[in-house]
Amino acid sequence: MSARDQVRLNGDPAVRELAPEELARLQRALFAIYRDVRDACARRGMDCFLFGGSALGAERHGGFIPWDDDMDLAMPRADCERLESALEEDFPGRYAVVAPRRVPAGPRAVPLRYPFLKVRRNGTEMLGAFDHPDERPGLSIDVFPLDAVPAGRFRRKIRGMLVDACVFLGGCVRRFRRTSRGERLSARSVRGALLLGARKTVGFVFSFFDEERWYALSHRIASAPCRTDGFVTAAQGSKRYAGEILPVPMVFPAGETVFCGEKCPTFHDVRGYLAKRYGPDWATPPPPEARERHFVERFRGAP
């Protein structure tokens, strides 16, 4: 969504931009969730890397990007599958790991918006402009599984296309089934209306599966056994399958950085990763007009 479309969200009195003190409180709460995840993983020898904007914030700002409202982690697939039991063992009842089930069986009690994992703090509420109340969103951090990439350009391209298609179709089905307030407001422009209408039409055509089945299928394809030549990818990341491919020596063994004054694990060559993902000028903050803005309907922190 463009910055111009984001500004249009202010036309609805139910949607507001996070105030600076709210953003600071939100970042503290997210870091508390992250600290529990990091420590639970460390006790079990599980890898848990700062990823995306969180890795960028650590290297450029020593913590959160000042205007950011989330935390991103990456974990090997096998460790992701142990995460829920680890958190429940160490912090019973405190967290829920929300993720597409590998083999969905029947309708889910709480529908999904995202194709990746989220560690959500129970008893909190964070209804962003692009969340739907049925999804019961709360304060959470994002976790992206790392999967091996097949050897050979053709196999890699086919797998990437299938994963990306499943994620795209899942998002279209979600918009067809439930449209958030932010998406409706963005559709006030001609371009926004055409885009939303096209996605909902695709969602209608492919709604023989719900979004969770499409998202789960993307995970099954991404994690299928393969002969690899030393690359991994965060298949459900924002740059899609091909854009998230990294050489194994860039990721493993874990490196270390400082985030909010604490030592935190990150990719082995985190600066090489940031240059690949954000370009050679990654250390230079963007101008104020290009920075992301965040709109919410409701925000309630941890009890």
Residue 4 burial (CB count, 10 A): 11
pLDDT value of position 162: 98
Single-letter code of the amino acid located at 7:
V
Three-class secondary structure of residue 179 per DSSP: coil
pLDDT value of position 15: 86
pLDDT value of position 9: 62
CA 102 to CA 106: how far, in whole Å?
12
pLDDT value of position 107: 67
For residue 264, the surrounding DSSP H or E stretch is strand 262-266
The residue ranges of every structural domain in the chain are 3-290
Return per-residue pLDDT of the chain as tens, 303 residues. 454 445 456 678 888 888 899 999 999 999 999 999 999 999 999 999 999 999 999 999 999 999 999 999 999 999 999 999 999 999 999 999 999 986 666 667 778 899 999 999 999 999 988 899 998 889 999 999 999 999 999 999 999 999 999 999 999 999 999 999 989 888 888 988 999 999 999 999 999 999 999 999 999 999 999 999 999 999 999 999 999 999 999 999 999 999 999 999 999 999 999 999 999 999 999 998 888 888 888 888 766
Residue 127 burial (CB count, 10 A): 21
Location of structure tokens 């795209």? 168
145-163 burial code (b ≥16 CB/10 A, e <16):
bbbbbbeeeeebeebbebb
CA 92 to CA 100: how far, in whole Å?
21
Strands of the sheet containing 16-17, edge to edge, are 16-17, 295-300, 125-128
